Amino acid sequence: MTQELRKKLLEIPKAELHLHLEGSLRPETVWRLAQKHQDHSRLHGLLSLADCRRLYSFSDFHGFIHAIKTASLLMVGPDDYAEVVKSLAWDLKAQGVAYAEVFLSVGIIIWRQLNPFTYFHAVENARLEAEAATGVRLAWVFDSVRQFGAEALDRVLDCAIQLQTSDSIVGIGIGGDEALGPATWFTRQFQRARAHGLLTTAHAGETCGPQSVWDTLNLLKPDRIGHGLHSVDDPKLLDALAESHVVLDICPTSNIKTGSWSSQLVHPAHIFYKRGIQIALSTDDPGIFDCTLLDEYMWLHDHGGFSAGELLTLATIK
């Protein structure tokens, strides 16, 4: 039954909506980049493939932040970003993914004092090549690090608006440490993004409690919320999420490996689903967490309380 279900899920053209480009680097890719940029790799102590694998061995959210930041810094030139885009498209094709919205951390590119337009043109050209080769359609969500503040999101949003002639840019988002960058900081920027026809998304309720989700829902009015895990602690919030039709991006392996959710507890994804909340299953950072989208579906079947029929329905939702 398990193999039959996996085969059926593979055959469904799926969408993945919560996927960070910088988090898609597997240890082998990190090692290739480390060998290419040895000054950077020595700085971060990445002197072997084993070191790159150890980088991804962590037990809490701060360890994860260190891992993705280090991986991002090894993507030095536009050609590195282009290589990662093409690799990601082939990985998605192998999972039967037809469409993916990919977070591109423009906030990190600007923070590194690089030209975001140069880097975007590199990933955009790679996207077009990858789509021609794989049939997988990618779109971009320009991401800002929330603890960098509201002005940093303004700069990311400026880039998205200037580049909007490319119909591959579908939205903006904020990630990072929600405790250090509350939703109250970003109300104006989310209003501005909507005024320009951009979709909006924000990580919330990943490491903080229900109030973080309430603030995000009421102040930012996003189209999607990343994770939303701890919404489960507030029945009124569950009702509000169901009524709002905001989509929760669900990433179980990520939640467990970052320590955002205990592996001893049943993941709340099925509670959200049964309460009528729209959910979208994703991998978040598949290279770091060593997971695939099919793995996530099967995890929900084996550990998350979902029936085969529910998963097949979830996979076909457009």
Separation of alpha carbons 45 and 100, rounded Å: 33
Separation of alpha carbons 318 and 316, rounded Å: 6
- Please tell me whether residue 176 adopts helix, strand or coil conformation: coil
Separation of alpha carbons 142 and 300, rounded Å: 29
Q: Give buried/exposed letters for 105-139 (b at 16+ CB in 10 A, else e).
A: bbbbbbeeeeebeebbebbbebbeebeeebebbbb
| List 16, 206, 243, 310, catalytic entry | 206
Separation of alpha carbons 257 and 261, rounded Å: 8
Torsion of CA 65, 16, 83, 35, to 10 degrees: 30
> Known catalytic residue: 131?
no
Strand partners, 310: none
Q: Which residues contact 141 (CB under 8 A, 6 or more apart)?
A: 101, 102, 103, 104, 170, 171, 172, 173, 199, 201
Catalytic residues: 206
